[in-house]
Amino acid sequence: MLKMYEIKHFMEVDAGSHKKRMARQGLKYYEGEHKIAGTRVFYVDADGKLKEDTTRSNVRISHPFFMELVDQEVQYMLSGDGNFIRSDDPDLQSMMDTYFDDSFWSEVYEALTGCITKGFDYLYAYYTADNRIGFQHADSMGVVEVAAKDTEDQEEHVIYWYVDHIEKEKKVIKRIQVWDERETWYYVQEGDGEIMADDKAPLNPRPHIITKNEKGERFGSSFHFIPFFRIDNGAKQFSGLKPVKDLIDDYDLMACSLSNNLQDFTDAIYVVSGFQGADLDELMQNIKTKKHIGTSPDGKLDIKTVDIPYEARKVKLELDEKNIYRFGMGFNSAQLGDGNITNVVIKSRYALLDLKCNKLEMRLKKFLRNIIKVVLDEINKANGTDYQLKNVYIKFQREIITNAQDNAQIQLTDAQRQGQQINNILAAANMLDDETVIEAICNILDIDYEEIKDKLPEREGSTQDAVGLLDAVVHDEEDGADV
């Protein structure tokens, strides 16, 4: 087991690592905390010194493009009927459905979101109250992987910590778990103080699995592996923010600068000569209330306005937005077309998102196979079966919006094509035997010939009689189910 000083050392080193710094940055941008939030306005005074300008406008609005890109990718990846892990064996499918239910996929959703946002994330296995294995999301910011070569006992460990609560004076209380291949140790840390054994843990250390027999006696066992499963956003575990961060920062800057200009130059500048009044305050009061001022015979009033270069900023904002979705490989829902939005056009707009999800799908399948192995082992032990990974397949069917008019036209064209094919077969029916004709028509209508062939006439009659019988069978099928 790890010593307490080792645990603290590994946690401190991990918190300062480049990987975790990048992960924290991705998490901030996902939550809308952008670089623009720290922007300050400065000027050089008459003495040549740099000073902060607290009188000018300093709009700091974050535009959360990254949150949209992440949510797009995750929801598009997990779109469909939700039954992604499948088997052709009905018994195995039924047993797997109890493991891979809605609760499981909600945890996968959280892990995928964290993976894209921070570069990597985890699920961990635990034993549920129903005496079966379950899976839960583990925030990667609190997971520290410890290699065997770095420890005194030469064993691999995973340290998992989370903030339990915050006491008065902002003292953070952390709960810490240290996992190895056999059991789990529980610790607590107050602020940055020393790590101590958690005296609130009922069993410390605790076996991975605790079960009860009919007499209520408890037994402990182990997974025989560290039950943490990691999914990476690429080999280098980079956040999805990396290719679009500078573009988002530039968009924030352009948009906020335009807002600042609009606020700072909303009022006109009055140039007055020969004013017949006491002071400047009287001049401004006359302009605001009386809408006129008095001047000497040689005096005059000029109103100056400032033209804000909004067209240039507008073009730059549009270019940044286009590049954010282009290099972030997302779907820009605000993109305008020429009004001819066909299914081909819609699919073309999903092309980059499809490409990005294809890469994610390969990593997600690898991640899920490791989990499926664990589930199959438990199913085999509980039922005396010998199911293998080859008995299970993973299939994602991502869905996109479609043009209803296009779909109706496609269905009409398919129906017309089927009708023409059937007419061609009937035209040649006199030269073919009944079985060939009916089987060909069944193939066109997607009807299982083996299921209806027993309903055909046993004697060798005319083809027209067989076709008529097939027509009745087809109508019976249509009344009971979709054909």
pLDDT per residue over 7-57, tens digit each?
999 999 999 999 999 999 999 999 999 999 998 888 887 788 888 888 788
Global pTM value: 0.77
pLDDT of residue 404: 64
d(CA 138, CA 135): 9
Span 295-305, pLDDT tens digits: 666 666 666 66
Q: Say whether pLDDT at 255 is over 50.
A: yes
Residues in the chain: 483
CB atoms near residue 206 (< 10 Å): 15
What residues contact residue 298 under an 8 Å CB cut-off, 6+ apart?
273, 274
pLDDT of residue 419: 82
Averaged pLDDT, 103-125: 96
Q: Say whether pLDDT at 169 is over 90.
A: no
Would you state the structure tokens that stand for residue 337, as one six-digit string?
């077309």
Averaged pLDDT, 271-290: 64
Predicted confidence band at 424 (pLDDT cuts at 50, 70, 90)? Answer: confident
Span 453-470, pLDDT tens digits: 776 665 454 555 555 555
Q: Say whether pLDDT at 406 is over 80.
A: no
Averaged pLDDT, 70-99: 92
pLDDT of residue 132: 87
Chain center to CA of 355: 15
pLDDT of residue 380: 94
pLDDT of residue 439: 80
Contact 119, 125 (CB under 8 A): no
Q: Which residue has the tokens 């994610």?
A: 360
pLDDT of residue 362: 94
Buried b (16+ CB within 10 A) or exposed e, 59-82: beebbbbbbbbbbbbbebbbeeee
Q: Say whether pLDDT at 234 is over 90.
A: no
pLDDT of residue 316: 92
Mean pLDDT lowest among 144-148, 186-190, 291-295, 379-383: 291-295
E-strand stretches of 344-411: 393-394
Mean pLDDT lowest among 322-326, 328-332, 446-450: 446-450
Predicted confidence band at 178 (pLDDT cuts at 50, 70, 90)? Answer: very high
448 CB-contact burial (10 Å; exposed 0-12 / middle 13-18 / buried 19+): exposed
Q: What is the mean pLDDT of the chain?
A: 83
pLDDT of residue 456: 63
pLDDT of residue 291: 62
Q: Which of 279-293, 321-335, 340-354, 432-446 has the highest mean pLDDT?
A: 321-335
**In this structure, which amino acid lies at residue 385?**
T
Q: Say whether pLDDT at 482 is over 50.
A: no
Tell me the three state secondary structure of residue 319: helix
Higher pLDDT: 302 or 125? It is 125
d(CA 105, CA 387): 22
Averaged pLDDT, 173-191: 92
Q: Say whether pLDDT at 409 is over 50.
A: yes
Higher pLDDT: 161 or 415? It is 161
